[in-house]
Amino acid sequence: MRRRPGWISTCHTMFVRRTDRARLDAFRDRRLRHLVAHAYDRVPYYRDAMRAHGVRPEHITGVADIHRLPILPRDVVQSRPNDLVAEGLDPERLHSIWSSGSSGRKVTIHHTRTERLFLSALMAKGLAELGRRPRMRQAGLKL
């Protein structure tokens, strides 16, 4: 049996045990610092955007500093999707989804297999909380 990544195990443990607020806040801030450092070190767009805004990973100590991070404009997602992929990952080997949204211009989002499975699990959990059960019939509407 494969072991879950450490952060998933930590999330599961914290929510199952209903941890106290201070510990949850500390966990959230620690994960944010890790995410910002990863983006700066490995994702070309975020490294360039943070440098242009004078932000370095050590400037972000927690959620209170999130306003310092640059916003990701939609046109960057549309025109430079591969600049949003971490170095060392091949965009051709990632799971890609496309959306045209309200603008009609194609947007490509890349996911690793782990991210795709995690997002699917979150969606299934949300649907279960709304009353959906396994093997229930469902209908979809396309407008």
Per-residue pLDDT averaged across 106-128, rounded? 84
Predicted local distance difference test score (pLDDT) of residue 44? 92
Which residues are CB-neighbours of 6 under 8 A, at least 6 positions away? none
Element (H, E) at 29: helix 21-42
* Better-predicted residue by pLDDT, 79 or 14: 79
* Better-predicted residue by pLDDT, 125 or 105: 125
Predicted local distance difference test score (pLDDT) of residue 64? 95
* Better-predicted residue by pLDDT, 92 or 62: 62
Give 66-99 as a DSSP string.
Answer: GGGSPP--HHHHHH-GGGGSPTT--GGGSEEEEE
Beta carbons of 69 and 33 less than 8 angstroms apart: no
* Better-predicted residue by pLDDT, 58 or 92: 58
Per-residue pLDDT averaged across 130-136, rounded? 83
Please report, for residues 40, 66, 92, 103, 133, the alpha-carbon distance to residue 87 in angstroms, rounded to integers and kept in the order given: 11, 23, 13, 29, 39
Q: Which of 55, 70, 60, 67 is nearest to 35 (CA)?
A: 60
pTM for the predicted model, two decimal places: 0.68
